[in-house]
Homo-oligomer: A and B are copies of this chain.
Amino acid sequence: MVTTLLAPVGDAPWSTAEFESRLRAVPEERYHDRHAFNIRMHSGALSRAELRCWIANRFHYQRHIPVKDALITAKLPTPALRRMWLRRIQEHDGLDEGEGGIERWLRLGQAAGLDRESLLRGDAVLPGVRLAVDGYVNFCRLRPPLEAVAASLTALAAPDLMRTCVDAFERHYPWIEPDGLACFRSRISEGGRDSSEALRLVLSWACTRDDQERAVAALRFKCDVLWALLDAVAHAHCPEGS
């Protein structure tokens, strides 16, 4: 049949409500709050060494967020969109020296007894974490803006996880100075705004079923990045009792 030689007609796009619900289902199913290491962290089961290992490796992820956000900014076609995305870079890098999310993560590390210079050198960064972070940065470098922005939609689930983190750290790890937890607290409000903006863009940009499926796949990929980071930390050798 001649028609089989033609490109197949794609499926009809999902309705906006259906598309949004499929996006929201991704972090509900596979966000890293379900990872065994996070569950142990939140139940207070981690040793000091394990918690420090997580902080040092999560810091490696955090410090690359403005890098991937600058790569996304370079893909956005209008001053208005770039202004919106630039705010994310500013939240992490701060408006002045000693401010911003990266600085707050360094302070969490110090509050947990880690050396600031060692964190900055990345001494404790595990190979799997380095690969996961590189993978995410390269995804944002190489994929279209729809997918790079859709990948950021893990922020839909971040505020709840940050609240859980604050509660768990206060209850189970009182040896960490409470001031160190500012990195979680600030993301509770920032994460909500970031995800609303990104969701609005993704819903409006994805016109075809193919676009919508690629956006859902991008969000699944991002969940895999966060999951792989915890896999690496969970399997690291952390000396007991330290």
Residue A90 interfacial (CB < 8 Å): yes
A172 to chain B, nearest CB (A): 31
- The 8 Å CB contact of A93, one of B79, B93, B96, is B79
Q: How large is the interface on A (under 10, 10 to 19, 20 to 34, 35 or more residues)?
A: 20 to 34
Decide yes or no: A73 and B89 within 8 Å by CB, A66-B79, A79-B66, A103-B79 being known contacts: yes
Within 44-61 of A, Cβ neighbours of B (below 8 Å) are at none
How many chain copies does the complex carry?
2
Within 94-145 of A, Cβ neighbours of B (below 8 Å) are at 94-97, 100, 102-103, 141
State the CA gap A86–B94 with chains docked (Å). Answer: 11
Residue A80 interfacial (CB < 8 Å): yes
Residue A92 interfacial (CB < 8 Å): yes
Residue A228 interfacial (CB < 8 Å): no
Residue A70 interfacial (CB < 8 Å): yes
Residue A82 interfacial (CB < 8 Å): yes
Residue A71 interfacial (CB < 8 Å): yes
- The 8 Å CB contact of A73, one of B70, B94, B96, B141, is B70
Residue A74 interfacial (CB < 8 Å): yes
Residues of A within 8 A of B (CB): 66-68, 70-71, 73-74, 79-80, 82-83, 86, 89-90, 92-97, 100, 102-103, 141
